[in-house]
Chains A and B, each alone.
Chain A
Amino acid sequence: MKELIENLKNEIIESLNLEDVTPDQIEADTPLFVEGLGLDSIDALELIVLLEKKYGLKIDTAEEGKRILYSVRTIAENIIRSRNP
């Protein structure tokens, strides 16, 4: 889990071009959208692509997206759950 969280932080920074953000600035539980990292709707769509490409995690509905993409930890939990259904 810990390793996965660290990997995710790096991948998020890279795929969303968060140039001036370092992995240790992203807390595992900070909300990614609006108040936290300030990501927007395009970032959300890009994250969906990243998670499917890299981890085979499919997000089909907006509701699911909101829940899974809440924080780095919720993403990691869902990846693990999808591997061991």
Chain B
Amino acid sequence: MEKKIRIDNGKLAFVDEVYIVADNIVTNLGFTSEENFDQVLSGYTGIKLLEDEQMAPEPFYASVIGREALYNRFSLIGNPDRYTRFEQLVLCSVHDALQGTNLNVADKRVLFVLSTTKGNVEQLGESGSLSSENKRPYLWQSGEIIKSFLRLHNDTLVVSNACVSGLVAILTGARLIRAGLFDHAIVTGADVLSEFIYSGFSSFKSLSQGPCRPFDKSRDGLSLGEGAGTVILSSRPDLNPKGEPIHVGRGFSSNDANHISGPSRNGEGLYIAIQHALRHFRGKVDHISAHGTATPYNDEMEAIAISRSGLQDVPVNSLKGCWGHTLGAAGIIESVAALHSIRKGMLPGTKGFQESGVSHPVHVIAETRTEKISNCLKIASGFGGCNAAIMFYR
């Protein structure tokens, strides 16, 4: 394979390598990656019993960001009355991630990739807004709003691929850089919790009675969450002079070809995605960041795919017990947590996990521990039979 070459300030550079040079997480555990990661290491969770009659007829467990907190945070960078909560989340996340990098976002070599499942769908709930004349819920419109706020040169690329959106967005950004089309990609994933999402998961009987318990014997469903995450990808590792750049490996997103809502029983789709992600990676996998939604079928399917891949002894965690399932943001938020695990040599435990409840042995870690790792395999699965896997490494 011929390598694409580019010249930077007189120096020769290969475009084959893509790095994460900056990142952010916004959830109700904090507005920066550091705040979030510290809280997670300390065993805190953002999941609480929520009483919100507008959202749900009965109380339920979820991780949501206080309206006022987000409003106040956003008012530092823009007028919160002009932007929806979804847009505020995205922009807060990007704005923080950009701090400390010397990236000129208006450059034509910068691409913005937005990952979301439902974007501004709650705008449909406003009276009279079901008409197609109401443009706010269109995801390309969210892309336009971001473009104009950040004064980007290029149109935003939106990925909407159910719960693997975040990983597909990272994969896409990295591929477009490798293809030589861009030098940098800001990849942000976000979803807000709404009546739309709550009622749907509830009708699917997917919600847990208490805070979710990934891979546990008594797991009974997922906890919903909301948040945003950002990774800034670049072919230039020196873009952020302070942080240690992490490599983005090649990855894959596959399909189960089995059922539009039920995960495959033999984990075939996820197994295929893992095989492709590892095809280009030499060395042993140190850590797996699982999707681990805590629904009986998802975790079982993941355990099968991990075990079939011969990775049953690799320490696995799921962080859904900390932030809930943040849908289009999850893949990015959890990837950011993985980067911080690599940098800090700390593996967060799986909140909610006590005793294994999957049929295939996997090494789920319950408690946070110190462990030097140099890479992480991130996996995810979602409705529509989609799966994705990607390697991050030093």
Contacts and interface: CB of A to CB of B under 8 A. Distances in A.
A41 interface: yes
B259 A49 contact: no
A41 B259 CA distance: 9
Interface residues of B, number: 7
A34 interface: no
B262 A41 contact: yes
Interface string A23-66: 00000000000000000111001000100000000000000000
Interface string B177-210: 0000000000000000000000000011100000
A41 B203 contact: no
A83 B261 CA distance: 33
Contacts of B261: 41-42
Contacts of A41: 259, 261-262
A40 B258 CA distance: 12
A1 B259 CA distance: 35
B204 A45 contact: yes
Contacts of A42: 260-261
B84 to A, nearest CB: 30
A41 B263 CA distance: 11
B262 A49 contact: no
Contacts of A49: 203
A40 B260 CA distance: 11
A41 B265 CA distance: 14
Contacts of A40: 259, 262
Contacts of B262: 40-41
Interface in B250-264: 259-262
Interface string B241-276: 000000000000000000111100000000000000
Contacts of B260: 42
A45 B259 contact: no
Give the most central of B204, B205, B259, B260: most A CB within 10 Å. Answer: B205
Contacts of B204: 45
B216 to A, nearest CB: 18
Contacts of A45: 203-205
B13 to A, nearest CB: 50
Nearest to A42: B261
A61 B261 CA distance: 19
B49 to A, nearest CB: 20
Contacts of B259: 40-41
A40 B259 CA distance: 9
Interface string B269-287: 0000000000000000000
B215 to A, nearest CB: 20
B383 to A, nearest CB: 11
B230 to A, nearest CB: 34
Nearest to B205: A45
A49 B200 CA distance: 12
Nearest to A46: B203
B282 to A, nearest CB: 41
A35 B260 CA distance: 19
A8 B260 CA distance: 26
Contacts of B203: 45, 49
A43 B306 CA distance: 30
A76 B55 CA distance: 34
A41 B297 CA distance: 12
Nearest to A49: B203
Nearest to B206: A45
A67 to B, nearest CB: 16
Nearest to B261: A42
B199 to A, nearest CB: 11
A24 B204 CA distance: 30
Contacts of B205: 45
Given A41-B259, A41-B261, 7 more contacts: A40-B259, A40-B262, A41-B262, A42-B260, A45-B204, A45-B205, A49-B203
Interface of B: 203-205, 259-262
Q: Considering the complex of A and B, which 9 residue pairs feature the smallest CB-CB distances, nearest first?
A: A41-B262, A42-B261, A45-B204, A45-B203, A45-B205, A41-B261, A49-B203, A40-B259, A41-B259
11 contacts: A40-B259, A40-B262, A41-B259, A41-B261, A41-B262, A42-B260, A42-B261, A45-B203, A45-B204, A45-B205, A49-B203
Interface of A: 40-42, 45, 49
